[in-house]
Structure 1
């Protein structure tokens, strides 16, 4: 089976393809990448920052000594991305548009790689469709508009797999050429793990790739070469594994969350909404049934992959997900975002499902249905409150900038988890809070080896209030009423009263004056 598939990988172009597709495969991949980049970039600046992005921005804005001191204590697994973002912000600033742009570019690079990779196993039209579907998946458009490392890691994962395919297919070529390919694989694997530790989940998938592609008489040679290159990559990445293990308590919060069920993962892992999940999984099922029922080889008439070819992408979808879903029962490790690196395979398999439908009318209808259910999710992501279920810090900062005056005090609700603490608005939009007195601050974050500021309860900071005539409270509206009212009562005892209260989206701004 594998030898037949390998011969098909170099088969002549599909009949009926355009001259552009036959002569310019690189251009088609590049064009898909450009479209994907634009889809992720469009309106990416519209939503307010949220907590994970706050960790990125605040860490990147530290001085290098402060950043290295923090990484020695926490978030070492994101250190390479923070260092990159440190330089990026120095050049282009820290606006939402600027800091989210690298992720949009990375999605374009990943989409191009998806087309290149899929073309090894199937016709160009199906491969191009896979790249375009990948660009539309809600998980992809979300991570492509976020100042985090996930999109960059996904791009590395795609091209790492492309490099693996080249290396396996080049077994039997000059030894110097093989050493170059396998050495590049080791280095790119190590880099990917430094960017995103869970990229190591691709290794079992790559084992499948090697078994599928290796020619029978070179199978063991290919296996040995891949195992050696993977071992070298893991050895180079050993420091980040050790650092991540030492700081594993940082993700202990996952164990305090309700366990994610398979059905929840089937929706939220890539598709965001139930309608998108229904259409997507229906097309995935069509792909699996059509390919596995039709036969073992690539079909020139349809461009569909053979069984072994589709198995690569199904394995990419299933194996990392299964490892995390099962493994989290023993050690809390599962997060929906961690499986973003499987999205390229999802896009390819969906495209195979579209191509497998009986006629062009059904294919067009399936694409329209997929786009129709994706558009509402895309629009919600690009709304003012599209991040983290409604983050509204920029809008709250705008109100403070308009209403507050230098010399006023400001107090932030500290009763919620770090990713939702309103205090982060002050660091993400500092101009709005310029001249205000941060009443409860004891030590700024960049003077610590932790991610956030050190603060004290308002009841311990009352001497700082005596000289103030107006104080602004920023409260998380999801806090319990008793906890939310504590600071109000404390200031009321000090002679203040509520002048006005404004609910933005989930942040309540309370103006208190004497």
Structure 2
């Protein structure tokens, strides 16, 4: 006799509402696991340009930071303020600043468990949290001094709160009103930390329609959600308006080659082709079994029984996760083609909880049980090369080497020496950034081409002058350290060297790192 369908079998076993259970300790343990995975080795790669922008902005005075945000980077303002306080407490090293993101990943890991457990089952929740913690996109953002990890944590807990409001019919009116107010605040906070949390609003609306268990309460829930969302958007209006005024900030995306859909499918969350094939295969397993209701019979015919404690809401839950994965990605890819450049692989980090839950549903379908553990081990094994690469010496931004360049200068320079930086590349790649994120290495050196320091302006970067215009600043200087970005314009680089040679300097040594060339010149 063949087995009953997945959905019908589980529908008979699921209670109308799932008792909360004592899973706080398990959530905390999984959160700790997520934190440890992300923080391990996070101090090894050098800072790169975007992280330098974070650190330099956060180290400004509060009035200076607000002056900056009025001109540029308003969309990162909330993160810069949090990082400002964090740096005051713990310093500005790679470990310190990235630990804030790793902590956010731990919070998001616990939230992924809580969401999957509430919607489907504890087993799926545990699997989802473990998958989430090792996904390459997660381990990347958990070791980077940027806002995406915090935004992801906010997004997943925002969804947990929404599900509670939809599912818990025992809340009194005052508590329900307070929780909807909290939902508005959390939505606004997510947008302040990362503007593209806005892309989740349609997904959350779909969740209201699909996850409200009582059809009679659906319209009431929808009305409450619309009002709470409107309030959240109103609170976030300042940053949304500022993003329109400062939209030229992401114009650089238009200078990059367009991202193909298949490329996004691999690198958006999964980091390498092998892991992407496995992950999408498990998502397909989940879709087929949940929506088609297939099972495996005892004689080995095609099917796989769904997770025990899931029930008729599994379809709705998986539909929401798929929408969370697909709709924001599609919006950015289509918008980039039709409106203006707006897509970057990192921008969809806020969708990783949904990807982890969809994968977890697929894993939980596997039989016999040992194959579930095998799938988790295989995911971790396939993610390992990406993880190790992210934590290598040159693991950021295709080989950032600001720290290594600073160490070369520290080892050779003496107080009174001059330093000249290549200014011919875009700001996020300028060797000059090493001066600000590793300042001890440049203590006592003469920054010859500095016009105004960044923290005395309302812009992100230093104002500099052409070397040819300030050669008088080298009077009395016998040695100069020139830091050049490999691949920058030969004409500009040649101009700096020629200007120094005309003053009587000659090359005495050079050190080529991953992408920075350090040239020592003496009279």
Q: Which residue does the alignment assign to 1:508?
A: 517
* 1:198-254 Cα distance to aligned partner (Å, 9 max, x none): 111111110111011222111111111100100010011111111111111111111
Provide the secondary structure at the position in 2 that maps to 1:120.
helix
Counterpart residue number, 2:286:
287
How high is the TM-score relative to the length of structure 1? 0.94
Number of the residue aligned with 1:356 = 365
Q: CA deviation at 1:66?
A: 1.2
Q: Is the 1:317–1:342 Cα contact (8 Å) retained in structure 2?
A: yes
Task: Give the 5 Å matches for 1:323-402.
Answer: 323-329=331-337, 330-402=339-411
Matched, 1:454 2:497: no
Structure 1 unaligned runs (5+)? Answer: 14-21
Distance 1:300-1:261 versus aligned 2 partners, 3 A rule: closer
Aligned equivalent of 1:119: 117
Whole-angstrom CA distance in 1 between matches of 2:12 and 2:189: 29
In 1, are the aligned partners of 2:406 and 2:442 still within 8 Å (CA)?
yes
The structural deviation recorded for 1:7 is: 9.8
Does 1:61 pair with 2:59?
Answer: yes
Please show how residues 95-494 of structure 1 align to structure 2 within 5 Å. 95-171=93-169, 173-214=171-212, 215-294=214-293, 301=308, 303=310, 306-329=314-337, 330-494=339-503
CA apart distance, 1:303 = 4.5
Q: What do residues 138-174 of structure 1 show as CA deviations (whole Å, max 9, x unaligned)? A: 0100100111111001000000000111111235742
- Matched with 2:3 is none
SS at match of 1:260: coil
Provide structure 2 residue ranges, at least 5 long, that are not aligned to the other structure: 1-6, 296-304
User: Which whole-Å CA distance do the structure 2 matches of 1:12 and 1:357 have between them?
Assistant: 23
Tell me the alpha carbon deviations over residues 409-450 of structure 1, each in whole angstroms, 9 at most, x when there is no partner.
Answer: 101111111111000000000000000000111110011110
Distance 2:15 2:91 in 1: 45
Secondary structure at 1:306's aligned position in 2? helix
Instruction: Find the aligned partners of 1:434 and 1:347 in 2 and give their Cα distance.
Output: 46
Q: Does the 8 Å contact 1:80/1:194 carry over to 2?
A: yes
Q: Report the equivalent of 1:81.
A: 79
Measure the CA separation in 2 of the matches of 1:451 and 1:374.
Answer: 35
Aligned equivalents of 1:424, 1:239: Cα separation in 2: 30
How many angstroms apart in 1 are the aligned matches of 2:12 and 2:142? Answer: 34
Query: SS at 1:502's partner residue?
Result: strand
In 1, the alpha carbon distance for the partners of 2:129 and 2:77 equals 30
Aligned 8 A contact 1:302 1:356 in 2: no
Q: 1:9 & 1:136 partners in 2: Cα distance?
A: 32
How far 1:467 sits from its partner (Å)?
2.3
SS at match of 2:475: coil
Asked if 1:52 corresponds to 2:50, the answer is: yes
What is the CA-CA distance between 1:302 and the residue it aligns to? 6.5
Instruction: Provide TM-score, normalisation by structure 2.
Output: 0.92
Counterpart contact for 2:34–2:133, Cα < 8 Å:
yes
